[in-house]
């Protein structure tokens, strides 16, 4: 029987003996497996018998509100929470779970959920393995076994999606005709919308696509477990309608939520939203730094912040152990400016006051040694005892300021090295983006967007760094002049 894999006009179920797909007329009847020669009866497929009631626009708005409430207040573990069935089957092969689940008609919600989940997963695995007929047979076999209309609805939606994927739109619409067009459960609503949107996109009904799945992700509620199948369809519809700004916004939103690799790879496989992808890659390319100065701007912005953090960190050994990580070398510069006969290195002491287990300090105090004050020979205890007498030789904030300037200078080579590395990385990334843009431009036959020349931030970063240097110098000058 020559037919599309998901043709709604035939029956296709698994052989009860060997599991091979066996096809028959829509009315069913006697069939024989072409693999193991087993003969068996195939029943007529029974469509969903629920009456289709015409709904007003107001009814649909109210239904969307109820679905949104389910998204905001999810109920976990119900009959259509297929993630729970999947979690319970971890560590067991799909085929083993499938063999057990399809053996008898499910009589409990848990059994129905498991059978529905494994049928959908097995069909996905078979399709990805290049066996669509086996996928179809698994789905329709499950359709025969399932007794709950909601589980049957999910299987029919998947059959419609697979038929649309093959381009068999008539069959896709046939499967959808057997579904509930207005389910009240969020997990049942999403797959139906996705299937309808795929068919409408293939028919060229772009406005109809956006009407059923929304022009924006927040327009229509979708359960997170449903996946991202609607995203490529929405982006393709927006692109064909030339709503470029909306397509760009939705693409960036999808990437932020689901990750760039998954979203872009999915679009590439379907060859959807090519122009939106070009613009996305162009924005990424334009954001890359050009030249060493542009690449070094980021590290230059970060350097003063890192220097401040390290300067504050140096207070820990100074306050705890009266030990200066720089060994007081700042004093060789500062002490002669403080007093004519003072020389480095600086000596410091941290004086703690209090009692009953509670102590406080104003931080380390720095003193310049000279022949007059004998600071060079004093211990920390001696310095603490004579701190009041040595006020004339004490420095204020200038030791901290010079520590900051020292760390700033020490980080300058890091800025250069980091800038070189970022420039190389940017060049490699730009080449890859240019190649991706070129391939998509050849596909769309539309001109590539010109490369934007962004305003360089190196000058701003340099001014910021210089401003912090000037501020530190002013602190030092003020301390020495007071």
The verdict on 235 and 112 lying in the same domain is: yes
The verdict on 261 and 298 lying in the same domain is: no
The verdict on 482 and 370 lying in the same domain is: yes
Q: Say how many domains are in the chain.
A: 3
The verdict on 213 and 78 lying in the same domain is: yes
The verdict on 322 and 273 lying in the same domain is: no
Q: What per-residue confidence (pLDDT) applies to 2?
A: 42
Q: What are the residue ranges in the chain where pLDDT is below 70?
A: 1-3, 47-54, 86-91, 453-456, 482
* Mean of pLDDT over the chain: 91
The verdict on 104 and 154 lying in the same domain is: yes
Supply 107's token pair.
Answer: 């009589």
Q: Which helix (H) or strand (E) holds 31?
A: strand 29-32
The verdict on 452 and 402 lying in the same domain is: yes
The verdict on 251 and 359 lying in the same domain is: no
> Would you say residue 2 lies in a domain?
no
Closest to 45 in 3D by CA, of 178, 148, 168, 135: 178
> Would you say residue 389 lies in a domain?
yes
Of 258, 285, 312, which one is at a domain's C-terminal end? Answer: 285
Q: What are the pLDDT digits (tens) for 297-332?
A: 999 999 999 999 999 999 999 999 999 999 999 999
The verdict on 251 and 134 lying in the same domain is: yes
Determine the structural domain holding residue 134 and report its residue range: 57-285
> Would you say residue 3 lies in a domain?
no
Rounded-to-integer distance, Cα 249 and Cα 234, Å: 12
The verdict on 35 and 64 lying in the same domain is: no
Q: What per-residue confidence (pLDDT) applies to 76?
A: 82
Write the CATH number for 251.
1.25.40
Of 285, 306, 332, which one is at a domain's C-terminal end? Answer: 285
Q: What per-residue confidence (pLDDT) applies to 1?
A: 38
Contacts 24+ apart (CB under 8 A), 95-98: 95/122, 98/122, 98/138
The verdict on 312 and 402 lying in the same domain is: yes
The verdict on 363 and 249 lying in the same domain is: no
> Would you say residue 5 lies in a domain?
no
Q: Identify the three-state secondary structure at position 37.
A: coil
């Amino acid at each position: 029987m020559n037919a599309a894999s998901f043709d709604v006009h035939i029956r296709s179920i698994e052989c009860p003996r060997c599991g091979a797909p066996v096809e028959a007329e829509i009315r069913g009847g006697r069939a024989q497996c072409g693999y193991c020669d087993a003969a068996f009866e195939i029943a007529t497929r029974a469509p969903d018998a629920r009456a289709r009631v015409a709904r007003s626009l107001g009814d649909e708005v109210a239904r969307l509100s109820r679905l949104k409430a389910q998204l905001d207040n999810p109920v976990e573990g119900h009959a259509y929470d297929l993630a729970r069935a999947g979690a319970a089957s971890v560590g067991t092969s799909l085929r083993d779970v499938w063999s057990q689940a399809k053996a008898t008609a499910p009589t409990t919600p848990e059994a129905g959920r498991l059978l529905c989940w494994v049928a959908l997963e097995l069909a996905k695995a078979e399709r990805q393995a290049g066996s669509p007929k086996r996928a179809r047979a698994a789905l329709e076999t499950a359709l025969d076994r399932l007794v709950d209309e909601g589980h049957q609805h999910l299987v029919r939606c998947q059959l419609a999606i697979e038929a649309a994927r093959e381009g068999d739109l008539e069959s896709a619409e046939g499967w959808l005709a057997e579904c509930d067009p207005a389910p009240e459960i969020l997990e049942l609503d999403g797959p139906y919308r996705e299937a309808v949107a795929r068919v409408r996109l293939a028919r060229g009904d772009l406005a109809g696509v956006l009407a059923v799945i929304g022009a924006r992700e927040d327009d229509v509620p979708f359960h997170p477990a449903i996946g991202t199948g609607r995203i490529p369809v929405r982006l393709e519809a927006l692109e064909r309608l030339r709503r470029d700004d909306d397509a760009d916004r939705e693409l960036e939103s999808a990437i932020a939520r689901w990750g760039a690799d998954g979203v872009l790879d999915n679009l590439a496989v379907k060859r959807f939203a090519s122009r939106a992808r070009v613009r996305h890659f162009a924005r990424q390319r334009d954001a890359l730094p050009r030249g060493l100065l542009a690449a070094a701007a980021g590290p230059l912005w970060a350097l003063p912040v890192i220097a401040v953090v390290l300067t504050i960190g140096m207070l820990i050994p100074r306050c705890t152990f009266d030990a200066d990580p720089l060994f007081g070398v700042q004093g060789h510069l500062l002490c002669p400016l403080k007093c004519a006969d003072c020389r480095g290195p600086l000596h410091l002491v941290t004086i703690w006051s209090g009692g009953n287990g509670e102590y406080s300090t104003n931080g380390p105090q720095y003193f310049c040694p000279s022949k007059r004050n004998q600071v060079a020979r004093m211990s920390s205890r001696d310095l603490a005892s004579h701190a009041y007498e040595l006020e004339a030789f004490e420095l204020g904030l200038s030791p901290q300021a010079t520590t900051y300037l020292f760390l700033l200078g020490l980080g300058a080579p890091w800025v250069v090295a980091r800038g070189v590395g970022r420039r190389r990385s940017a060049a490699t990334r730009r080449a890859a983006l240019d190649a991706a843009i070129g391939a998509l431009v050849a596909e769309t036959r539309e001109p590539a967007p010109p490369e934007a020349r962004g305003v360089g931030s190196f000058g701003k970063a340099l001014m910021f760094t210089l401003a912090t240097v000037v501020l530190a110098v002013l602190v030092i000058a003020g301390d020495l002049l007071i």
